[in-house]
């Protein structure tokens, strides 16, 4: 019963615990057993807290009416601080720092009854759209372990896709929820700027980063958004309150919408034909549901200048984060323990003048006004989430003689669509509406009007009802391994990855 329940939605799991049909302890034990079976292959978790999780599960009994009562979840190992559980930001420079308190998002999830079983892998400082930190090694995609699960919330995505947990926390400063959702066949929603608090942090200056979750269903995503939404004292941004709970919005069809679809990548980046076809297929589905659809261009007037200014702000933000993080963990970080890419970004950020930084922020804000004009006569923009299938492990590593920051340029061609939406602050969601001929997930990216997560969640729910996806699972899952026990000869015969090997399992607290 517990193993079968582990494959169900977080909503269903909480209902089973609430009804007394499944003790939370059994559900948490099933999650920990799945991690034990799968994580040697996937490397999704970097820190586990089994004793603490089981003790919390024992304190939850039938009748607990909290939304996530007794549900095991994963928390990304960056930005979201976890009281009593190691937080590393994916870097050796932080050491084994253990925060003395929870961030607001973790506090809200725990208050709703969720049980944190561990922290998930992320690229150092969340920089890249792949999850291959030097400290912990690469996380692998359950659909094809030679490929990335995306980043920077790749550990959480792999854990949810493989069935270790039903809900994984993540955050998104340039696509870091939507990219792994597309790679792993999940729902990945980036909330509107100001919808979810960054407390106790101040948030970045321009408000690029939003916290959210990775799930298999729109209903779970909407439920989590209801839990996570809300103002905390000192928040620099505040999204408008929805007219109804997001969980209810997910159950209601939206009105007829004006939808623009994009099937060409900006800056002439190559767009995989199956990713373009996923958008065409979504367009046909939207039309069948009564929406008005037309083909449009991606609404960035000068993509090259936009990208240059975005990267300047991003690079300076990494430098600022390294400085701030040192004060948080109790001393200046040892830069010698940073990865070459991060060190080079810090150096470039420190060399950027305040005038140039402010000018880039101003440029992006003006460019946002231009982009947002699109929503005066459209309701939703639909693009591919990614321009290419999930990359092979190690694909972004610099070639011999290349500077580490060449990885940023390579990244841009892989994920040209998500980052501008962090600049505008709009809600966006990646849905696993399509699969490639090779059986890999293909995400479709929906962008909603400023502040209107409610409309976007309603549309996502309608699409899921019309074209369900939650039963599509990768071969490498907890359920499959309980029968096959890692006996697939093709995986045993696969040559070793050129990327750095994993250096041991997740640390247990």
Query: Is residue 160 a contact partner of residue 439, using CB atoms and an 8 Å limit?
Result: no
Cα gap 105→228, rounded to integer Å: 6
Q: Which of 51, 155, 168 is nearest to 109 (CA)?
A: 168
Query: Is residue 429 a contact partner of residue 189, using CB atoms and an 8 Å limit?
Result: yes
User: How many beta carbons lie within 10 A of that of residue 500, not counting itself?
Assistant: 16
Strands 187-190 and 428-435 come out as: antiparallel
What tokens does 17 get? Answer: 């615990």
- Known active-site residue 321: no
Query: Is residue 472 a contact partner of residue 11, using CB atoms and an 8 Å limit?
Result: no
Cα gap 393→405, rounded to integer Å: 18
The residues pairing with 508 across neighbouring beta strands, listed in sequence order, are 48
Q: Which of 107, 126, 127 is nearest to 116 (CA)?
A: 107
Tell me if residue 131 falls in helix, strand or coil: coil
- Known active-site residue 166: no
- The active-site residue, picked from 31, 176, 229, 411, is 176
- The active-site residue, picked from 76, 119, 190, 410, is 76
- The active-site residue, picked from 24, 103, 152, 229, is 152
Tell me if residue 434 falls in helix, strand or coil: strand
Q: At what angle do helices 273-288 and 453-466 cross, to 10 degrees?
A: 90
- Known active-site residue 190: no
Question: In 337-473, which ranges are continuous DSSP H helix?
Answer: 340-351, 354-372, 406-414, 419-424, 453-466
Sheet bearing 507-508, strands edge to edge? 292-295, 258-261, 380-384, 441-447, 428-435, 187-190, 210-215, 168-172, 72-76, 115-120, 45-48, 507-508
**Residues acting as catalytic residues:** 76, 152, 176
């Amino acid at each position: 019963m517990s193993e079968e329940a582990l494959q169900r939605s977080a909503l269903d799991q909480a209902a089973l615990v609430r009804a007394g049909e499944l003790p939370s302890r059994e559900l948490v034990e099933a999650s920990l057993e799945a991690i034990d079976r799968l994580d040697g292959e996937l490397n999704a978790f970097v820190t586990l807290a089994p004793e603490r999780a089981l003790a919390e599960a024992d304190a939850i009994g039938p009748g607990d009416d909290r939304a996530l009562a007794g549900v095991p979840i994963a928390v990304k190992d960056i930005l979201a601080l976890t009281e009593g559980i190691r937080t590393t930001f994916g870097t050796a420079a932080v050491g084994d720092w253990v925060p003395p308190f929870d961030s607001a998002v973790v506090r809200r999830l725990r208050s709703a009854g969720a049980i944190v079983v561990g922290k998930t892998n992320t690229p150092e400082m969340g920089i890249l759209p792949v999850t291959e930190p030097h400290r912990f090694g690469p996380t692998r995609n359950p659909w094809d372990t030679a490929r990335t699960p995306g980043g920077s919330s790749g550990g959480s995505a792999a854990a949810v896709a493989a069935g270790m947990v039903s809900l994984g926390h993540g955050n998104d400063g340039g696509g870091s929820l939507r990219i792994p959702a597309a790679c792993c066949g999940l729902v990945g929603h980036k909330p509107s700027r100001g919808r979810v608090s960054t407390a106790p942090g101040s948030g970045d200056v321009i408000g690029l980063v939003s916290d959210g979750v990775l799930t298999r269903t729109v209903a779970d995503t909407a439920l989590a958004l209801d839990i996570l939404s809300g103002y905390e004292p000192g928040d620099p941004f505040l999204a408008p309150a929805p007219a109804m709970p997001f969980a209810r919005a997910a159950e209601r069809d939206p009105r007829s919408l004006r939808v623009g679809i994009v099937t060409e990548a900006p800056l002439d980046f190559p767009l995989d034909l199956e990713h373009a076809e996923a958008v065409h297929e979504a367009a046909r589905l939207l039309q069948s549901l009564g929406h008005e659809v037309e083909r449009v261009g991606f609404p960035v007037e000068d993509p090259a200048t936009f990208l240059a200014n975005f990267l300047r702000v991003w690079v300076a933000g990494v430098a600022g984060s390294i400085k701030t993080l040192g004060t948080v963990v109790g001393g200046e970080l040892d830069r010698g323990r940073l990865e070459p890419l991060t060190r080079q970004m810090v150096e470039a950020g420190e060399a950027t003048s305040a005038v140039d930084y402010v000018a880039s922020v101003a440029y992006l804000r003006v460019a946002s006004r231009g982009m947002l004009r699109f929503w005066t006569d459209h309701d939703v923009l639909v693009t591919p989430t990614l321009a290419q299938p999930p990359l092979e492990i190690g694909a972004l590593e610099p070639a011999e003689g290349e500077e580490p920051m060449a990885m940023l340029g390579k990244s841009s061609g892989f994920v040209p669509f998500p980052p501008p939406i962090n600049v505008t602050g709009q809600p966006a969601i990646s849905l696993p509406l399509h699969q490639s001929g090779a059986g890999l997930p293909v995400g479709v990216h929906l962008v909603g009007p400023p502040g209107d997560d409610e409309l976007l969640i309603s549309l996502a729910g309608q699409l899921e009802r019309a074209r369900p996806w939650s039963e599509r699972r990768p071969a490498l899952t907890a359920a499959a391994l309980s029968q096959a026990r890692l006996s697939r000869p093709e995986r045993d015969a696969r040559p070793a990855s050129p990327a750095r090997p994993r250096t041991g399992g997740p640390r247990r607290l």
